[in-house]
Amino acid sequence: MLSADFANLGRDVEMINQSEADWFHLDVMDGVFVPNISFGFPVIKAIQKLATKPFDVHLMIVQPERYIDAFKAVGTDILSVHYEACTHLHRTIFAIKEAGMKAGVALNPHTPVHLLKPIIADIDLVCMMSVNPGFGGQKFIEHTYQKCAELKDMILKANANCLIEIDGGVNDLTAPLLLNAGANVLVAGNYVFGSADPTKTISLLKHLFSNTTKLS
Ligand code: ZN
Protein backbone atom coordinates (compact mmCIF):
# COMPACT_ATOMS: atom_id res chain seq x y z
CA MET A 1 0.00 0.00 0.00
CA LEU A 2 3.04 2.29 0.24
CA SER A 3 2.71 2.86 -3.50
CA ALA A 4 -1.05 3.57 -3.41
CA ASP A 5 -2.50 7.02 -4.08
CA PHE A 6 -3.40 8.24 -0.56
CA ALA A 7 -5.72 10.89 -1.99
CA ASN A 8 -7.67 8.04 -3.57
CA LEU A 9 -7.15 5.39 -0.93
CA GLY A 10 -10.69 4.01 -1.11
CA ARG A 11 -10.36 3.46 -4.85
CA ASP A 12 -7.02 1.68 -4.48
CA VAL A 13 -8.23 -0.53 -1.60
CA GLU A 14 -11.24 -1.51 -3.68
CA MET A 15 -8.93 -2.36 -6.61
CA ILE A 16 -7.01 -4.77 -4.33
CA ASN A 17 -10.29 -6.21 -2.99
CA GLN A 18 -11.43 -6.98 -6.53
CA SER A 19 -8.03 -8.24 -7.72
CA GLU A 20 -6.35 -11.65 -7.42
CA ALA A 21 -4.01 -10.38 -4.66
CA ASP A 22 -4.24 -12.39 -1.45
CA TRP A 23 -3.13 -9.89 1.19
CA PHE A 24 -2.71 -6.18 1.90
CA HIS A 25 0.95 -5.41 2.70
CA LEU A 26 1.34 -2.34 4.92
CA ASP A 27 4.78 -0.78 5.43
CA VAL A 28 4.92 1.16 8.69
CA MET A 29 8.00 3.42 9.02
CA ASP A 30 8.96 5.55 12.00
CA GLY A 31 11.70 7.83 10.64
CA VAL A 32 14.15 6.24 13.12
CA PHE A 33 14.67 2.63 12.04
CA VAL A 34 14.43 3.79 8.43
CA PRO A 35 15.00 7.31 7.06
CA ASN A 36 11.35 7.86 6.17
CA ILE A 37 7.91 8.08 7.78
CA SER A 38 5.04 6.32 6.01
CA PHE A 39 1.68 6.17 7.79
CA GLY A 40 0.20 5.25 11.15
CA PHE A 41 -2.99 4.08 12.81
CA PRO A 42 -5.49 6.61 11.34
CA VAL A 43 -4.59 5.54 7.79
CA ILE A 44 -4.53 1.82 8.68
CA LYS A 45 -7.99 2.15 10.27
CA ALA A 46 -9.26 3.82 7.09
CA ILE A 47 -7.91 0.91 5.01
CA GLN A 48 -9.38 -1.61 7.49
CA LYS A 49 -12.88 -0.17 7.01
CA LEU A 50 -12.81 -1.06 3.32
CA ALA A 51 -10.40 -4.01 3.02
CA THR A 52 -11.75 -7.53 2.60
CA LYS A 53 -8.42 -9.40 2.65
CA PRO A 54 -5.85 -10.21 5.37
CA PHE A 55 -3.48 -7.51 6.66
CA ASP A 56 0.23 -8.27 6.40
CA VAL A 57 1.90 -5.51 8.43
CA HIS A 58 5.65 -4.91 8.10
CA LEU A 59 6.97 -2.80 10.96
CA MET A 60 10.07 -0.82 10.03
CA ILE A 61 10.20 0.74 13.47
CA VAL A 62 12.34 0.60 16.61
CA GLN A 63 10.86 -1.10 19.70
CA PRO A 64 8.05 -2.80 17.76
CA GLU A 65 7.08 -4.75 20.91
CA ARG A 66 5.44 -1.57 22.21
CA TYR A 67 2.75 -1.67 19.52
CA ILE A 68 1.77 -5.34 19.26
CA ASP A 69 -1.71 -4.94 20.79
CA ALA A 70 -2.32 -1.73 18.86
CA PHE A 71 -1.68 -3.50 15.53
CA LYS A 72 -3.93 -6.38 16.54
CA ALA A 73 -6.66 -3.83 17.28
CA VAL A 74 -6.53 -2.43 13.71
CA GLY A 75 -7.06 -5.86 12.17
CA THR A 76 -3.51 -7.18 11.60
CA ASP A 77 -3.34 -10.87 10.69
CA ILE A 78 0.42 -11.19 10.14
CA LEU A 79 2.81 -8.90 12.02
CA SER A 80 6.48 -8.74 10.99
CA VAL A 81 9.20 -7.11 13.06
CA HIS A 82 12.76 -6.47 11.93
CA TYR A 83 15.52 -8.73 13.23
CA GLU A 84 17.72 -5.63 13.49
CA ALA A 85 15.15 -3.80 15.64
CA CYS A 86 14.61 -6.51 18.28
CA THR A 87 17.00 -7.14 21.15
CA HIS A 88 14.63 -9.79 22.52
CA LEU A 89 13.34 -11.29 19.29
CA HIS A 90 12.13 -14.59 20.74
CA ARG A 91 10.05 -12.78 23.36
CA THR A 92 8.59 -10.42 20.75
CA ILE A 93 7.64 -13.30 18.42
CA PHE A 94 5.77 -15.07 21.19
CA ALA A 95 4.05 -11.84 22.26
CA ILE A 96 2.77 -11.46 18.67
CA LYS A 97 1.46 -15.03 18.68
CA GLU A 98 -0.13 -14.63 22.11
CA ALA A 99 -1.95 -11.57 20.76
CA GLY A 100 -3.52 -13.84 18.13
CA MET A 101 -1.49 -12.97 15.04
CA LYS A 102 0.95 -14.81 12.82
CA ALA A 103 4.53 -13.75 13.54
CA GLY A 104 7.03 -12.70 10.89
CA VAL A 105 10.64 -11.56 11.00
CA ALA A 106 12.00 -9.12 8.42
CA LEU A 107 15.65 -9.03 7.35
CA ASN A 108 17.55 -6.09 5.90
CA PRO A 109 19.59 -6.87 2.75
CA HIS A 110 22.89 -7.06 4.67
CA THR A 111 21.60 -9.34 7.45
CA PRO A 112 22.62 -12.98 6.95
CA VAL A 113 19.93 -15.64 6.80
CA HIS A 114 21.72 -18.03 9.19
CA LEU A 115 20.92 -15.71 12.11
CA LEU A 116 17.32 -16.98 11.91
CA LYS A 117 18.29 -20.61 12.48
CA PRO A 118 17.50 -20.66 16.24
CA ILE A 119 13.97 -19.30 15.69
CA ILE A 120 13.00 -20.56 12.23
CA ALA A 121 10.63 -23.19 13.65
CA ASP A 122 8.84 -20.55 15.75
CA ILE A 123 7.95 -18.07 13.02
CA ASP A 124 5.29 -18.08 10.30
CA LEU A 125 7.02 -15.86 7.78
CA VAL A 126 10.36 -14.33 6.86
CA CYS A 127 10.08 -10.99 5.07
CA MET A 128 13.29 -10.66 3.12
CA MET A 129 14.07 -7.11 2.05
CA SER A 130 15.39 -7.13 -1.50
CA VAL A 131 15.96 -3.35 -1.50
CA ASN A 132 17.19 -1.08 1.29
CA PRO A 133 14.08 -0.35 3.38
CA GLY A 134 12.60 3.12 3.66
CA PHE A 135 11.27 4.03 0.24
CA GLY A 136 9.20 2.46 -2.54
CA GLY A 137 10.46 1.97 -6.08
CA GLN A 138 14.08 1.03 -5.34
CA LYS A 139 16.45 -1.16 -7.32
CA PHE A 140 16.38 -4.89 -6.65
CA ILE A 141 19.49 -6.36 -4.95
CA GLU A 142 20.62 -9.42 -6.94
CA HIS A 143 22.09 -11.18 -3.89
CA THR A 144 18.46 -11.81 -2.80
CA TYR A 145 18.15 -14.93 -4.99
CA GLN A 146 21.02 -16.61 -3.16
CA LYS A 147 19.67 -15.58 0.26
CA CYS A 148 16.22 -16.88 -0.69
CA ALA A 149 17.61 -20.28 -1.72
CA GLU A 150 19.66 -20.46 1.48
CA LEU A 151 16.59 -19.67 3.58
CA LYS A 152 14.50 -22.26 1.73
CA ASP A 153 17.14 -24.87 2.47
CA MET A 154 17.14 -23.92 6.17
CA ILE A 155 13.33 -24.15 6.36
CA LEU A 156 13.27 -27.57 4.68
CA LYS A 157 16.06 -28.94 6.89
CA ALA A 158 14.28 -27.72 10.04
CA ASN A 159 10.96 -29.06 8.73
CA ALA A 160 9.58 -25.61 9.60
CA ASN A 161 6.26 -24.20 8.43
CA CYS A 162 7.49 -20.76 7.41
CA LEU A 163 6.70 -18.71 4.30
CA ILE A 164 9.37 -16.73 2.44
CA GLU A 165 8.15 -13.28 1.47
CA ILE A 166 10.18 -11.04 -0.84
CA ASP A 167 9.72 -7.32 -0.37
CA GLY A 168 11.06 -4.78 -2.87
CA GLY A 169 11.81 -4.66 -6.57
CA VAL A 170 9.35 -7.41 -7.52
CA ASN A 171 8.40 -7.27 -11.21
CA ASP A 172 7.87 -9.57 -14.19
CA LEU A 173 11.64 -10.15 -14.49
CA THR A 174 12.51 -10.82 -10.83
CA ALA A 175 9.32 -12.70 -9.83
CA PRO A 176 9.94 -15.96 -11.79
CA LEU A 177 13.53 -16.16 -10.50
CA LEU A 178 12.37 -15.53 -6.92
CA LEU A 179 9.75 -18.27 -7.17
CA ASN A 180 12.44 -20.62 -8.51
CA ALA A 181 14.62 -19.74 -5.52
CA GLY A 182 11.82 -20.79 -3.15
CA ALA A 183 9.80 -17.63 -2.48
CA ASN A 184 6.16 -18.13 -1.40
CA VAL A 185 4.91 -14.54 -1.12
CA LEU A 186 5.78 -11.58 -3.36
CA VAL A 187 5.14 -8.00 -2.30
CA ALA A 188 4.60 -5.73 -5.28
CA GLY A 189 4.06 -1.99 -4.83
CA ASN A 190 5.35 0.33 -7.52
CA TYR A 191 5.22 -2.39 -10.15
CA VAL A 192 1.47 -2.75 -9.56
CA PHE A 193 0.40 0.83 -8.79
CA GLY A 194 2.73 2.33 -11.40
CA SER A 195 1.36 0.14 -14.18
CA ALA A 196 -1.33 1.15 -16.66
CA ASP A 197 -3.68 -1.60 -15.46
CA PRO A 198 -2.92 -2.59 -11.83
CA THR A 199 -5.56 -5.34 -11.71
CA LYS A 200 -4.08 -6.97 -14.80
CA THR A 201 -0.53 -6.62 -13.45
CA ILE A 202 -1.56 -8.43 -10.25
CA SER A 203 -3.19 -11.15 -12.33
CA LEU A 204 -0.06 -11.62 -14.45
CA LEU A 205 2.12 -11.92 -11.33
CA LYS A 206 -0.35 -14.25 -9.66
CA HIS A 207 -0.34 -16.64 -12.58
CA LEU A 208 3.38 -17.19 -12.09
CA PHE A 209 2.53 -19.04 -8.88
CA SER A 210 1.46 -22.60 -8.36
CA ASN A 211 -1.81 -23.21 -6.52
CA THR A 212 -0.21 -23.26 -3.09
CA THR A 213 1.63 -19.94 -3.09
CA LYS A 214 0.45 -16.45 -2.27
CA LEU A 215 0.76 -12.93 -3.60
CA SER A 216 0.31 -9.87 -1.44
ZN1 ZN B 1 7.22 -4.30 3.38
pLDDT for residue 157 is more than 70 = yes
pLDDT at position 211: 43
212 C-alpha vs ligand 1 centroid, how far in Å?
Answer: 21
Residues 106-155 pLDDT 10s: 999 999 999 999 999 999 999 999 998 887 778 899 999 999 999 999 99
Total domain count, the chain: 1
Q: Determine whether 69 is an active site residue.
A: no
**For residue 57, is it within any domain?**
yes
Higher pLDDT, 186 or 209: 186
Q: Determine whether 167 is an active site residue.
A: yes
Q: What is the residue range of 65's domain? A: 6-215
134 C-alpha vs ligand 1 centroid, how far in Å?
Answer: 9
Cβ–Cβ contacts within 10 Å for residue 104, how many?
25
Residue 101 — φ and ψ, nearest 5°? -120, 160
Look up the CATH number of the domain holding residue 129. 3.20.20.70
The catalytic position among 12, 22, 27, 124 is 27
The catalytic position among 22, 30, 56, 167 is 167
**For residue 72, is it within any domain?**
yes
83 C-alpha vs ligand 1 centroid, how far in Å?
Answer: 14
**For residue 96, is it within any domain?**
yes
**For residue 1, is it within any domain?**
no
Band of residue 210 on the pLDDT scale cut at 50, 70, 90: low
156 C-alpha vs ligand 1 centroid, how far in Å?
Answer: 24
Q: Phi-psi region for residue 75, left (φ > 0), alpha (ψ -120 to 50) or beta?
A: left
pLDDT at position 59: 98
104 C-alpha vs ligand 1 centroid, how far in Å?
Answer: 11
**For residue 141, is it within any domain?**
yes
